[in-house]
Chain A
Amino acid sequence: MNAVITEQTMNNAERVFDLRQTTIRELNQALHDVPETAGASHWRVLHAAGHHALACGINTPAVVTIEGHVGYYCAGMNKHATVTIQGNAATGLAENMMSGRVHLQGNASQSAGATGRGGLLVIEGNASARCGISLKGLDIVVKGSVGHMTGFMAQRGRIVICGDAAGALGDSIYEAQIFLKGSCVDLGADCIEKEMRAEHLQALAELLETAGINEDARKFHRYGSARKLYHFNIDHADQY
């Protein structure tokens, strides 16, 4: 269904995909057919209706707006693109995203931003369990609260939570950083509160501004790894 897409046509018009009339595969293929040199292209997806794998694997600075609630793995593996979802998202929003920006206006289900390597994921609502699990460099900013085991085994990147956190926050965390404004039920294994130094305040303030979230960085607490799980401790031998 795609004519040859030139830089010029892509820059000018917003392409509209109504998922009651086209398939998810047609949408994703059209997004993948954009030449990497094309610059910004504009897309609008209507009637998402909870469908899975919308706008996955984009590799250009496309600007995509999705109307409605989305299913699993929306904007997964995103590179360069800006994807805005005007609704809620199911499991694995922006999983393994590499760069670019994913902006969710509603709530996210479990494992939002899982294994993300780079870019920015902004969630205006709440995120449920295991947000940022195995994070590898992505920044996640959640305006609401997060579910249990957020930041589980997160290795790199930052998770900012403007609301509260459920249990086992940062369980088995490596070198990712967690900034929490509200309260947390309890911290996971090897996760501790750390001093909020000037450089952290500045970096957090910049991140909040980039995310478009109006919060005072000084109200946040910083959490990270105690680094006690990194090495075998002979005193724990009898626990194995």
Chain B
Amino acid sequence: MCGIVGLYLKNPRLNGQLGALFEPMLIEMTQRGPDSTGFAIYRDPVPVGSVKLVLQHAGLAYDWPRLVAGFIDHFRVDVDFKRLHTHCVLVLPATETAVRNYLTTAAPEVAIVSMGRHIEIFKEVGLPQEVATAFALEQAAGSHAIGHTRMATESAVTTAGSHPFSTGSDLCLVHNGSLSNHNRLRRLLSRHGARFQTENDTEVAAKYFDWQMQQGLNLEQALYAALKDLDGFYTFAIGTSDGFAVLRDPIACKPAVLAETDDWVAMSSEYRALASLPGVENAVVWEPEPATVYVWEQQGGTARMRTAAPLRKAS
């Protein structure tokens, strides 16, 4: 089943309330996904040339200061860090590749949850309320957030198998559905150098988008390419540094609803997750078309929606 929620604030005056508006949306989706919960918050961008990474280790007593000291030693830079439950947010002037390479050898026991200049992902096994509280979601400020409540089907209930999945560069993906050709795609992507942390089908989709964009496609083109290459059921919500996108498969069995006001755009698996948003009674509410890419992004300081013409038939 699974539940998906996304909230994109068009009115920056609401940024301080992002977490307070977003948490009830996530919790309303508890019945759709009680196994694990995760969310990506886009906030506090770090300067160009720096990277913000979120790392995870299951042990609550994990020695994060020691890991940070290792970073300082290796990169010879200042490192800001902040611990949140089982996760730790680090900011340092370095490239994503250099940080990833360093961690592979220096701290293989630690998982990279997200990387970019804006994104912070937090995810854990457990009910949405528990996970939201553990990571202080209600107090979070930011421009947009994407979340997921998981009812596991394709792989084990673990933190690593929780959504969102991020491949770096501020991109993250949440998924309701199941992909049937993920094993074949995983082999294909592995031949192109992708490394996988789980047996999860959504991780394959995230790596697929990453790979397509490395080949030069933009997000919208990569999403349309997915309509040909991904076999199965899906509603995807994708977060980027300055926007978010929604895509449903051509059969469109997995639910999705979008709502928009002058102040925000929101998506969810079900309307009830939107019912707590301010002004929702006057929002434009609609169901996204199958096989159609919806993208919101900042253009000249205002949020704009771009929707390509619906493809009525699967190719």
**Chain A interface (Cβ < 8 Å from any Cβ of B):** 49-52, 69, 71-72, 88, 90-91, 107, 109-110, 128-129, 147-148, 166-167, 185-186
Contact = CB atoms under 8 A, between A and B. Distances in A.
B82 interface: no
Contact of A50 (B251, B252, B270, B290): B270
Given A49-B275, A50-B272, A91 B255 contact: yes
Nearest to A51: B272
Given A148-B312, A166-B312, A167-B313, A71 B285 contact: no
A110 B252 contact: yes
Contact of B274 (A50, A110, A129, A166): A50
Contacts of B255: 90-91, 109-110
Given A91-B255, A110-B252, A167-B312, A71 B272 contact: yes
Q: What's the interface size class on B, roughly?
A: 10 to 19
B313 A49 contact: no
B231 interface: no
Contact of A185 (B274, B285, B312): B312
Instruction: Determine which residue in B272, B285, B312 has the highest number of CB atoms from chain A within 10 A of its CB, and name it.
Output: B272
Nearest to B268: A50
Contacts of A185: 312-313
A109 B287 contact: yes
A88 B252 contact: no
A71 B270 contact: yes
Contact of A88 (B251, B271, B290, B313): B271
Interface string B274-315: 110000000001110010000000000000000000001100
Given A50-B273, A71-B271, 14 more contacts: A49-B272, A50-B270, A50-B271, A50-B275, A69-B271, A69-B275, A69-B285, A71-B270, A88-B271, A88-B285, A90-B257, A109-B255, A129-B252, A166-B312
A107 B312 contact: no
B216 to A, nearest CB: 31
B286 A107 contact: yes
A4 B35 CA distance: 43
Chain B interface mostly helix, strand, loop or mixed? Answer: loop
10 contacts: A49-B272, A50-B270, A107-B287, A109-B257, A110-B252, A147-B252, A148-B290, A185-B312, A185-B313, A186-B313
B151 to A, nearest CB: 16
A52 B285 CA distance: 18
Contacts of B274: 50
Contacts of A107: 286-287
B251 to A, nearest CB: 8
Contacts of A166: 312
Nearest to A88: B285
A88 B280 CA distance: 13
Given A91-B255, A109-B255, A186-B313, A129 B290 contact: yes
Nearest to A186: B313
Contacts of B286: 107
A109 B257 CA distance: 9
Nearest to A47: B275
Contacts of A110: 252-253, 255
B312 A90 contact: no
Nearest 5 A-B pairs (CB), nearest first? A50-B272, A50-B271, A49-B275, A185-B312, A167-B312
A128 B256 CA distance: 12
Given A110-B252, A129-B290, A185-B312, A90 B270 contact: yes
Nearest to B252: A129
B312 to A, nearest CB: 5
A166 B310 CA distance: 10
Nearest to A110: B252
Nearest to B31: A52
